[in-house]
Amino acid sequence: MFFRIRPFFMPNLLLTARPFSQRNPFDPEAIAPSIPEDQPNDPIYFEKGDTREIGKKLSAKIYKKIAVMTGSGISVKAGIHDFRTPTTGLYAQIEDPDLPFPEAIFDLNYFKLDPEPFYRISPNLITTNKIPTLTHYFLKLLEDQGILLMCYTQNIDSLEKKAGLSSKKLVQAHGNVDHSHCTSCKKDYPISELRQHMLSKQPAFCECGGTIKPDIVFFGEKLPQEFHSKSELILYADLLLIIGTSLTAYPFASLAQMVSPNTPRIVINKGGYNAFAQNGFKFDSEMKRDIFFDGDCDEIISDIVKDTQWDDSLKKLVERKN
């Protein structure tokens, strides 16, 4: 008899000690410590909230501690499928009769039971030949301008690093395919050897008999300690950019509510307006703290950069790295 394994992330959140069932994931008091004393009291919101205004504010360095949250939408133009888009997402393309449900390929318990379905789709996860998108280089540009506080990403492709973003400014909340280990003895495993197994769609096993997996966070695993140790930095952000994600995965999504109530938030994503609006974002408020841009990430970022003095700098970054 087969028991369906329901995928979930362990609730290892930076939360107060209330029962999990009573916690509202969009309640800032539930997920964040008190606001730092040096947090600005006077919020710098938007008048029009268009790309021109945002570009000019960035260029003038009105915001000096920008936090960024990114998802799979920023890597689509690099040829990397997201997971949940109907018909084109990775889950939609899985036709494996052995799987009880598509998400089981990333369920730790199921992986230990049967790693073959994961390895059959694993070539899709190898991104060493992929080129960063304009949005990835924009992250590096923010760092070069000295105004990037931290980039938190759900992506496992490491294209931020390939674009030149330094490790100290990047938190890969859901892991990466740059390292691997044994699920039993936890010993590190050479990533070059694992990639060969992934390309051949054959499971890799440790000398102890355990199954090897890349350092991707599977359902049922805790997020990396780095995520928790650096999450509180977002409290100091004076601007939050949310790019290419609908913020459906927790605890990552909780970061958006950990910023100060005075911190403006800009969402750049293809769709998802209603989901954000239902979860505490007030895009229609006259105060214009929250701004939503619906569309292609690269195109919107390009429009913003046009109204900065950094257009040439961004072009040079792209040319130099490519």
Give φ, ψ of 284 to 5 degrees: -95, 5
Residue 208 annotated as binding?
yes
- Specify whether 136 is catalytic: no
Q: What single-letter amino acid sits at 269?
A: N
Torsion sign across C-alpha atoms 236, 240, 241, 245: positive
Q: In residues, how long is the chain?
A: 322
Residue 151 annotated as binding?
no
d(Cα 131, Cα 161) in Å, to the nearest integer? 11
d(Cα 8, Cα 108) in Å, to the nearest integer? 10
The catalytic position among 81, 136, 174, 197 is: 174
d(Cα 9, Cα 291) in Å, to the nearest integer? 29
Residue 297 annotated as binding?
no
CB 73 within 8 A of CB 244: yes
Binding residue numbers for Zn(2+)? 182, 185, 206, 208
Binding residue numbers? 182, 185, 206, 208
- The catalytic residues are 174
